[in-house]
Structures are given as C-alpha cells and as structure tokens.
Structure 1
Amino acid sequence: MDRAYIGRPSRSPKEVPLRDPRVVKLAKTIVGYSCNVQPGEKVLLEAFDIPSDVVGIVVEEISAAGGVPLVHIRQNEVTRALLINAKEETWKAHGAADLALMKEAQAYIALRGSNNVAEISDVPNGPMQWYQTHYMQPVHFKRRITNTKWCVLRWPTPSFAQQAGMSTRAFEDFYFEVCTMDYAKMAGAMKPLAERMQKTNTVRIKAPETDLTMSIKGIPAIPCTGDKNIPDGEVFTAPVKNSVNGKIRFNAPTIYTGSRFENVRLEFRNGKVINATSSDTKRLNEILDSDEGGRYLGEFAIGFHPLIKKPMLDILFDEKIMGSLHMALGNAYDIADNGNKSKIHWDMVLIQTPEAGGGEIWFDDQCIRRNGRFIVPELECLNPENLLGSPAPPKTAPFGSGGTGSKKKERATATRK
C-alpha cells in the first residue's frame, strides 16, 4: 500500500484522495470512544502541522456523529515566532480569546505533529512563563481539562519516527497498532490497580540510585483508558504533598519546552526537591524555580501499555511504557488533587524492566511489581501477555536500541496532555 498519504501536508487538487483505513479507524476511535461526541455538541479541533486530509477525516467523523466541528489550524513555527516576539499582553489576549472559544466547546481534540521537535528550545524562560501563566493555565489546565471531553494525540511524522529510532514506515505501523488497540479491554484490566491504589497508604519505589517513599492516602486513583490521551495505559494519583522523601533517578530522557534532559536525579525532603541534577542542571533548576509549586510533585502514575517498550522522547508514549512509572513535578490535576499548584507540569519516567536496570514498587508492606511485571494475582491481568490476549507480546526494539538510541528522541511542545 502506498503510505505517502501518511504525514503528507498537501496534494494537488487533481489527485484522488487516499483514505488509509487506519486513519479512519483512529478518527472513529477519537470521536466515538474517546470524546463520545453527541449530536449538537461543539468540538474544538486543533491541528498542529497535520496533513489536511487527516484533519478532514476527523471533521467528517465529528459531523457524522452530529457534532459541530470548530477547526483551528496551527503551525509550530508560528507558535515559536509568537513566543520569541510577543509581549506579555499578547498572551493575555490570546488566552482570553481562546478561553472564550473553549467555553463554547463540549469536546476538544488536539492532533499534534511536528517537523522539528526542538522548535521552541531557544525560547527564553520569560516568554515561556507568560505563555504558561496567561494561556496554558486558564485555557487548558483550568478550563479544558476539567470542563470538556478531550483527547490529545501525536501524529507519526518522519521527525517522530527519527526520535523513535525507526524507519518512517515501521513507525507508522507501530503508531497505528498502539493507538488503535482495544482500550475498552484495557479499561477493565485497570480497575484492580486503581482499587488497590485507592486503599494504599505508603508507596516505596526501589531501583538503581532510587529509594523513595511517599503517601498516596486519600488521593483519588484515576485509570486512563483512552478517553483523554491516545495512546493510553496508566493509572495515576498524586502523593500527599509533604510526604515524599528519598531520592530517585529517572532513566528515560525527557523533553520540556523543547529542551532535552538526561539522567534527572532528584532528592526530596518532606515533599520538596532539595537537590536536582541532570545533563543540564542549570536549566533544570531554573524550571523548578518557576514558582513555589515547581519543586513539589503533582502526580504519581504506573504505566503498562504492552506495545510501548522503549522511550521515544514523547511523553504521551513514554509515560505509558510497559514496566514504567512516572512522576510529575508541578501542578496537580483537579481530579487527583494534592493541593500543589504550579505553572509547570513536567512528567519524568523511570523504567523498571530488567533491560533498564530493574526495580520494585511496594504498596504498604507488599511488593506489587518487580522488574516491570506485576506479581500479585489480582494485578497480573496488566502484564503484557494478558492485555494482548496472547502467549507472548510482539517483539519491539529493546530499551536503549534503535537508530538514535534510548537518549535520542525529542519533542518540542509546551504542554503535557
């Protein structure tokens, strides 16, 4: 099959449109399952560097469901130009305008592509803080996340394939397999973990250079089943704000606002990061010092997508890696609120499979996962062979392999989910 359609930004009017059935299936999943669009609902569709045909297919599915599509076409290069040149008043105006539109919408879909994952890496900290304060906070964190049905996903561009250390065609196949798997089945398998987390007081995390304890008592545990992000496959909560103590090393590289960080090491005392180092320690600490909440955790989550096995420096994929966990510095979500508020929300991933160094997660006095596999009977349904319904999961490149390796994937987006 000719895959030139995937990721192609435009075509001659004389060309016959190609409708890759995988794109149609994904669009149906987003509209019908993730956002459950109902007749008469307004759906804000934002497309960042996405092929026009793909946007058109999603518009068709919204319309077929009886929804009203409100389409915004955006470009990452234009966003960078705004960030570099705009004044604080510009982001106040953008925030007010898009907040009004978001209030009109009952659902929100974001299709995010990128031709250069480091597009905003040279934006100074000041403009980024204006953007976070006057745009991201009011439009997305305060309005969209808590008041709309929403789904955010990436698009398989050649740049994204390069991040993953894969050929473009191989990555397309991987992408659609991951994004169109049976999330309804996965949803049922998540329930025991969410219930167990809800009953847990103390969590202990052990891994190389890692020994961290925290309490999650009284904080809701939220299963993520494909109705907010695609791909999905995690259960998240938040630690009691002042309960985190110990140290942790995140072995997956991370990107924040276009800048890359490796081997982030954090030391906590009574909830606060008292020491932070990485491949760019200066920039890391500048971000953590953005505000008072930047040095406290706003999220703790366990990931288990059976087809995602290695980092590719895109948090929507990396935080779902089989055998991983992640934590977010900064703002807590309202649905799992520990009281921490911040302009930042920065997810960092620790992979505990044997290839990545192994590790354990303890709930109170019981080890529930060892070396990336759940070892208590009620949670074994989340191991990959059970989620996939086959004796062994499909083979993918191991941790740290691929053309660019475990530390060669980047993205440039100023928001998480």
Structure 2
Amino acid sequence: QFFANLPTEEIFTTPDRLRADGYVTTTKPVSVLDVKTEEVRLVFKDGKVIDYSAREGKEAMDTFFSIDEGTRRLGEVALVDETSPIAQSNYIFNSILLDENASCHLALGDGYPTALANGALLSTDEQLHEAGCNTSLMHVDFMIGSKDMDIDATTGDGKTFAVMRKGVFVF
C-alpha cells in the first residue's frame, strides 16, 4: 500500500533520533494540539529539544512536550523547494498535509521506519530506537524553510556539496 501526501512536494527522511545539535525557528504558523503557534524556537542537544520558546502558543508547546519523551526528538526531516506551487501561493491552508508542502520542515515525534533500511521489519520501540528511529504518540511538522535558506550536505567520506541555495534545489 502507498499513502502519498497530496500534493507531494517534499523529499523526506527519518533522522537519527540522537544526532541533532543546534537550533531552528519556525517560519510559518503551525497548529499544535489545535492551538496556533508562531516563531517556535527549538534548541537541540544530542537529538533532544532541551529548550524552546514561542512568540505564540507556548502553552501548547508545554503540553505537547509533556505527552511523552518522543515529542522532544526528531521523527522527520523534509526538504521542500520554495518553487513548489504551495509555497508560491503564499497561503496558509491551516492543514498540515498541505502546509508542509510549502516549506522545509522538521517533525517532532514519531519517525517513519520505512525510510530506514529494513525498517518495515522493526516492530518494537527498542528495535526502532536501536536503528535510530524515534517513537512517540505524536508527529507534528514545524516549517523552518525560507527563501534565504542554504543547505549543504556532507558525504560519508567528508565531501561537501550544495543541496539548496536561497530555498531552491541546485541539483
């Protein structure tokens, strides 16, 4: 079976739940537990959100992070080109299945085992965690992309190459 987002404008993966350091700030509003949030700043250390703030919706973030330990870890990283039709519309649909296709985004919470080698064969939280996949009752996308975003990738042998410049894929 295949369940695609409609439209699908993203390239996504399941990140290692223990390997994120730094911070991001959302560039578009997102509903968290049916509450609008804006300018959510997330600070990561060793894959875990260790600090956060929000211009709007801080109380919803407090509740979100109290749901389970997995809400503080990444479940998805997605790249979306600023030339996507949804991004070009400059419209917030208030539906994550559409809005996530307007911007690069990170999801906090449950990861996608099918994005991992042999991930579909992993069935317990322990097996998923060992493979690097986060587990949670939640999965919420936070848009972080913009027309100013540059993204570089580093290969396993240390080579670096451009992936995005000014929010647009370069390959």
Flag whether TM exceeds 0.5 (same fold): yes
- Give yes or no for contact 2:35–2:57 (8 Å, CA) kept in 1: no
Q: Which residue of 2 aligns with 1:371?
A: 166
Q: Judging changes above 3 Å, is the alpha-carbon distance between structure 1 residues 256 and 282 closer, same or farther for their aligned structure 2 residues?
A: closer
| Equivalent residue letter for 1:359 | M
TM-superposed CA distance for 1:367, in Å, is: 2.4
- Give yes or no for contact 1:329–1:344 (8 Å, CA) kept in 2: yes
| Equivalent residue letter for 2:33 | T
| Equivalent residue letter for 1:299 | E
Q: Which residue of 1 aligns with 2:99?
A: 318
TM-superposed CA distance for 1:232, in Å, is: 1.2
Gaps of 5+ in 2: 117-131, 155-159
Higher RCO, 1 vs 2 (CA within 8 Å, ≥6 residues apart): 2
| Equivalent residue letter for 2:78 | A
Q: Which residue of 2 aligns with 1:307?
A: 85
Query: Could you list the per-position Cα deviations for residues 348-373 of structure 1 after superposition, in whole angstroms to 9, with x for gaps in the alignment?
Result: 112221xxxx1211101222211112
The 5-angstrom pairing of residues 216-255 of structure 1 reads 228-255=4-31
Paired residue for 2:111, among 316, 332, 337? 332
Q: CA RMSD in A?
A: 1.6
Query: Equivalents in 2 of 1:259, 1:311: separation in Å?
Result: 18
TM-superposed CA distance for 1:282, in Å, is: 2.4
Q: Judging changes above 3 Å, is the alpha-carbon distance between structure 1 residues 277 and 230 closer, same or farther for their aligned structure 2 residues?
A: same
TM-superposed CA distance for 1:311, in Å, is: 4.5
Q: Judging changes above 3 Å, is the alpha-carbon distance between structure 1 residues 370 and 362 closer, same or farther for their aligned structure 2 residues?
A: same
> TM (normalized to structure 2)?
0.79
Query: Could you list the per-position Cα deviations for residues 369-396 of structure 1 after superposition, in whole angstroms to 9, with x for gaps in the alignment?
Result: 1111223xxx2xxxxxxxxxxxxxxxxx
TM-superposed CA distance for 1:342, in Å, is: 0.3
Query: Could you list the per-position Cα deviations for residues 255-277 of structure 1 after superposition, in whole angstroms to 9, with x for gaps in the alignment?
Result: 12321100010000000000111
What SS is found at the alignment partner of 1:363? Answer: strand
> TM (normalized to structure 1)?
0.34
| Equivalent residue letter for 1:367 | A
Query: Could you list the per-position Cα deviations for residues 317-374 of structure 1 after superposition, in whole angstroms to 9, with x for gaps in the alignment?
Result: 22112xx311100001121253211001000112221xxxx12111012222111122
| Equivalent residue letter for 1:373 | V
Q: Alignment identity in percent?
A: 31
- Give yes or no for contact 1:311–1:317 (8 Å, CA) kept in 2: no
Q: Which residue of 1 aligns with 2:152?
A: 362
| Equivalent residue letter for 2:142 | M
TM-superposed CA distance for 1:298, in Å, is: 0.4
What SS is found at the alignment partner of 1:283? Answer: helix
Whether 1:344 and 2:138 are equivalent positions in the alignment is yes
Q: Judging changes above 3 Å, is the alpha-carbon distance between structure 1 residues 311 and 296 closer, same or farther for their aligned structure 2 residues?
A: farther
| Equivalent residue letter for 1:330 | G
The 5-angstrom pairing of residues 174-185 of structure 1 reads none
Q: Which residue of 2 aligns with 1:292?
A: 69
Count of aligned pairs: 146
Paired residue for 2:32, among 246, 256, 277? 256
Structure 1 runs (4+) greater than 4 angstroms displaced: none
Q: Which has the higher strand share?
A: 2
